[in-house]
Amino acid sequence: MDSSTLIKMIFELAGGLGIFLLGMKHMSDGMQAVAGNSLRRLVGAVTNHRVFATTVGIIVTCIVQSSSITTVMVVGFVNSGVMSLSQAVGVIMGANIGTTITGWILVLKIGKYGLPLLGFAAFMYLFTRNDRWRYWAMFVMGIGMVFFGLEVMKDACSIIKEMPDFEAWFARFQADTYVGVLKCALVGCVLTTLVQSSSATLGITISLATQGVISYPTAAALILGENLGTTITAFLASLGTTTNAKRAAYFHVIFNLIGVFWITLIFQWYIQLIQGIVGVDVTESVLVDGNETYPNTVAAIAATHSVFNVCNTLLFMPFLTPMVRFLERIIPSLSYKEKPRLTDLDIRILETPLLAIEQSRKEILKMGDGCLKMLDWHLELMQADEPNKQLGDRLRQRERVLDSVQDEVAAFITNLLSGNVSHATAEEGRRQLRLADEYESISDYIVNLDKFDRKLRRDGFRFTESQRADLETLNRHVKTYTHDIYEALSASNPNILTSTDASGKRIRDQVKALRRKHLEELSAGTIPPVVSVAFMAALNAYIRVRDHARNIAETIALEK
């Protein structure tokens, strides 16, 4: 065989694989954009219920078309503290099932229509103005690229049969003995680890099997190894993360390692079971353009992948609680409190913009909750007869934390918006930048309120009893107003601006009334100037908190 044929085979294989992977990405991006807020709400609704968490993992992975993306995302969520370990293990198991959808897409006998699909979808993508139609076109374009790329790889693999040296090398990998099964699984594991994509190795495996270069049992053993190889992505993503995030990544490794171990013990029986379930003869060949192909192996390979992951999930499901305890024992918690940082999630979650924007939204909700706590702490500090240094330090530390969180949110969203995101995601990102700024401003004014009280105490003064009573009442009203808006943000209630309009006006009227009352008291000449200045500054700080809270309500109302 001359070198030109070898070069042609390498170029076709590389080109087909590239088109295949690009198609997978377009399918993922298109489905994410079409799924929209539903995908975000789905991930946000994950609970400790193992079946529900597993179902969420299946659905999300079917949408993003990659178990690696889902598991890396889960590691990121656990690292940031918004998903518990027990929730994460359920989602990871579901991700292993969801990733098998790729094989079933390839079962569709539309390989020769891949190029027309790509062409028509590309025209729609380029010339339609409707965003939703454009993302549907991107999804269909991805399907077309996947099938076209697979056809190119099949043509490249057919050349191998004309090359005795290559065919002899592939013949060394036969899953006819237990050692042979392990050897094939190891090859699949190493290959997936190198290319960092189980979809890529799946495409190569199907191409080789349909051209008869490898047998169905060998392809099935390779698929088992690919399940193990895909765990390296989540493992690498867990480096430098919190203990819980490491536990989630290690669960993914253990889950697949144990699964591959027990399935290899019954491998020969298992592949016979799969052929019985699918009801096809994998040895049946068909002549296509003079080449002998084995099209039935595609369905058998897809079933091998799916049944293995479903059985493994059912096997693990009853033992999730002991498994979590086991992970906590082998990876003990650190002696100090680990503080998750949003910036740790940049490289892990930005690949899935809709889920990334949900992550930053959760961080903003934490900012809102922090501001509400700060209002409570300030009220407690103002009511205390003696200064509470510990609580005061906590209040100021919380404000510094919110400053850092705002910086991290801004950097995160800026990186997100610099990528290729939908208009809806871009709008949500800009809204979140404003929300983070508003909450950070609220925290600044709450700290200023405490500064006024501390300065008076340091100079030997206090607000009068009447002033303290008025400020306490105002603090409670502002807290209620801010809390209602926070709840609306949490529930994405766009009607909050209308429903809180009356209470917002009451706070403004209350501040005006307190200013008039204070001016009348000044006429009597009984209030020291330093107390007067501090009281007016406190009223101004409360009205600014109210104004920034109203800005948040306006931002929520802009959501579609």
| Other residues' Cβ atoms within 10 Å of the Cβ of residue 131 | 13
Token reading at 95: 């991700």
Among the residue ranges 73-87, 198-212, 231-245, 340-354, the one predicted with the least confidence is: 340-354
What long-range pairs does 543-547 form, CB within 8 A, spacing at least 24?
A: 543/507, 543/508, 543/511, 544/441, 544/445, 545/375, 545/442, 545/445, 545/446, 545/478, 545/482, 546/478, 546/481, 546/482, 546/504, 546/507, 546/508
The answer, yes or no, to whether residue 371 has pLDDT greater than 90, is yes
| pLDDT tier at 476, thresholds 50, 70, 90 | very high
pLDDT digits (tens, 9 = 90+) for 258-307: 988 888 888 889 888 888 888 777 777 666 665 667 777 888 888 888 89
> Could you tell me the residue ranges of all domains in the chain?
3-330, 347-558
pLDDT digits (tens, 9 = 90+) for 227-247: 888 888 777 777 766 788 888
CA distance 479 to 466: 20
Highest mean pLDDT among 46-50, 166-170, 502-506, 532-536: 502-506
Token reading at 402: 């919110």
The answer, yes or no, to whether residue 425 has pLDDT greater than 70, is yes
What is the model's pLDDT at position 343? Answer: 47
Which DSSP letter does residue 292 get?
Answer: E
Which DSSP letter does residue 333 get?
Answer: P
What is the model's pLDDT at position 63? Answer: 77
Span 195-222, average pLDDT: 82
CB distance 16 to 156 below 8 Å: yes
Query: Which residues are CB-neighbours of 390 under 8 A, at least 6 positions away?
Result: none
The answer, yes or no, to whether residue 426 has pLDDT greater than 90, is no
What is the model's pLDDT at position 389? Answer: 86
DSSP string, 194-244: HHT-HHHHHHHHHHHHHTTSS-HHHHHHHHHHHHHHTHHHHHHHTTTS-HH
Q: Between these two residues, 78 and 443, which has the higher pLDDT value?
A: 443
pLDDT digits (tens, 9 = 90+) for 375-402: 999 888 888 888 888 888 899 998 988 8
Which DSSP letter does residue 492 get?
Answer: T
- Mean model confidence pLDDT for the chain: 82
| Of the candidates 346, 339, 374, 370, the residue with the CA atom closest to the CA atom of residue 360 | 346
In degrees rounded to 5, what are phi and psi of residue 288? Answer: -130, 115
On the 0-12 / 13-18 / 19+ scale of CB atoms within 10 A, 266 is: exposed
Q: Is CATH 3.40.50.300 the right assignment for the domain spanning 347-558? A: no
| pLDDT tier at 320, thresholds 50, 70, 90 | confident
The answer, yes or no, to whether residue 436 has pLDDT greater than 90, is yes
What is the model's pLDDT at position 543? Answer: 94
| pLDDT tier at 317, thresholds 50, 70, 90 | confident
The answer, yes or no, to whether residue 1 has pLDDT greater than 60, is no
User: Can you name the residues that pair with 291 across neighbouring β-strands?
Assistant: 288
What is the model's pLDDT at position 335? Answer: 60
The answer, yes or no, to whether residue 117 has pLDDT greater than 50, is yes
What is the model's pLDDT at position 344? Answer: 47
Token reading at 51: 């079946």
Please state whether the predicted TM-score (pTM) of the whole model is above 0.85.
no
The percent of residues in the chain predicted with pLDDT above 70, rounded, is 88
Q: Half-sphere exposure of 403 toward its Cβ, with a 13 Å CA cutoff?
A: 9
CB distance 75 to 242 below 8 Å: no
